[in-house]
């Protein structure tokens, strides 16, 4: 089981837009496989993610609160320190993630959310007592998550960038 908080920011391709970080949340299930002796493995999750964002284009303020089913697949390396490895193991992880939009596609009469959002994750954390993992991930958006549908905002596109801080309990 995995749950956590997300801090999302939309990065625009035009400097005339103003945005700020917004918090959301995530919850779901995760599994991992690690080769015992070398500490190399992977984790795979299925998460419900709520990403909130607000941005202004001139005088008008828009709210782009979006829900996704996210499936990240990370390669993970756990550092085993002999004296304390049964208590604590630090780890690093990286890998691709795909998010499928489950909320509305239209933000306003000018902006549209894309149905798929691809990202590359970079993460780190610690495993405690071989069951609890606490970590942070940075998701670097690969494709455009939002685009303009009207002629007033022609050429507008935005990518998701987000931090996720989460805890997972492995049975």
List, for residues 3-16, the tens digit of each pLDDT value. 999 887 665 555 54
Beta bridge partners of 55: 19, 62
Residue 66: the pLDDT is 83
Residue 81: the pLDDT is 87
The rounded distance, in Å, linking the Cα atoms of 68 and 47 is 8
The rounded distance, in Å, linking the Cα atoms of 171 and 157 is 42
Spans of the chain below 70 pLDDT: 9-21, 55-62, 107-110, 150-156
Taking alpha carbons only, the member of 32, 41, 13 closest to residue 132 is 32
The rounded distance, in Å, linking the Cα atoms of 72 and 137 is 11
Classify 151 as helix, strand or coil.
Answer: helix
Residue 16: the pLDDT is 44
The rounded distance, in Å, linking the Cα atoms of 56 and 71 is 30
């Amino acid at each position: 089981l995995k749950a956590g908080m997300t801090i999302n920011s939309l990065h625009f391709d035009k400097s005339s837009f103003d945005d700020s970080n917004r918090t959301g949340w995530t919850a779901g299930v995760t599994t991992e496989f690690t080769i015992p002796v070398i500490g190399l493995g992977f984790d795979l999750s299925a998460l419900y993610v709520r990403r909130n964002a607000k941005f202004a284009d001139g005088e008008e303020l828009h709210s782009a609160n979006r829900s996704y089913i996210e499936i990240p697949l990370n390669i993970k390396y756990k550092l085993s320190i002999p004296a304390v490895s049964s208590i604590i193991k630090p780890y690093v992880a990286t890998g691709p993630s795909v998010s499928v939009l489950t909320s509305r596609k239209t933000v306003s009469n000018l902006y549209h959310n894309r149905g798929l959002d691809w990202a590359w994750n970079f993460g780190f954390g610690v495993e405690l007592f071989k069951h609890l993992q606490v970590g942070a991930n940075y998701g670097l958006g690969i494709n455009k998550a939002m685009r303009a549908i009207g002629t007033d905002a022609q050429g507008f596109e935005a990518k998701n960038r987000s931090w996720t801080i989460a805890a997972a309990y492995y049975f």
